[in-house]
A and B are shown apart, each in its own frame.
Chain A
């Protein structure tokens, strides 16, 4: 079955710690995205990547970092510099060629991060 997996489902972190959220897809998609969702809010783009070893900042990249060493993997690190990291984090991917905004996005189940 093709899809996107995110782990863990729930994550608790102490203030001042970095934490990495996993995102893996087996859809053979080139483009991958990380979004942040706060209660009652829309989806805000953190980072996105069109190809391996390349990624761009989204609208709220400060305090986050990513890597794209493999096509199927796009991990997100929430650093201690992120002032308010408690949120629901969604990973997505899309295929079908460029431009990516013309293609359907497939979302993973999300990771709920809570900072204690």
Chain B
């Protein structure tokens, strides 16, 4: 079953923060985050595996709460380059495939 992302869309000014959530009805073992610019291929951001770890690089980080079957992506002090659609992809234990959410469109204005 497809994970649910929220919000569906968000508009920010440069320098503001954003949180994107990804919730599943299934027990998760892995959560992937990707960003896609219009008309381009999705680009990998990070993977979180079961264990509740928080990962990040620069001003983009994520957490994984396997009890709540939920992951959140945090974008701090957003830059114009952060604009795009963000997708989470979820995997259950031992899965050979991911199921992707419907995406969250993030627009950063100057």
A residues less than 8 Å from B40 (CB atoms): 109-110
B interface bracket (residues with beta carbon within 8 Å of A)? 20 to 34
**Is the interface on chain A under 10, 10 to 19, 20 to 34, or 35 or more residues?**
20 to 34
Which residues of chain B from 19 to 36 have any CB-CB distance to chain A below 8 Å in the complex? 29-30, 32, 34
- Specify which chain B residues have a CB less than 8 angstroms from the CB of A44 in the assembled complex: 100
Q: Which of A68-76, A79-87, A95-103 touches B?
A: A95-103
A35 to B2, CA, bound (A): 14
A18 within 8 A of B: no
Nearest Cβ distance between residue A98 and chain B, in whole angstroms? 7
Q: Which of A33, A40, A58 has the most CB of B within 10 A?
A: A40
B97 to chain A, nearest CB (A): 5
Using a CB–CB cutoff of 8 Å, the interface residues on chain B facing chain A are 2, 29-30, 32, 34, 39-44, 47, 49, 87, 89, 91-103
Task: List chain A positions with a Cβ less than 8 A from chain B.
Answer: 31, 33, 35, 40-45, 48, 50, 56, 58-59, 90, 98-110
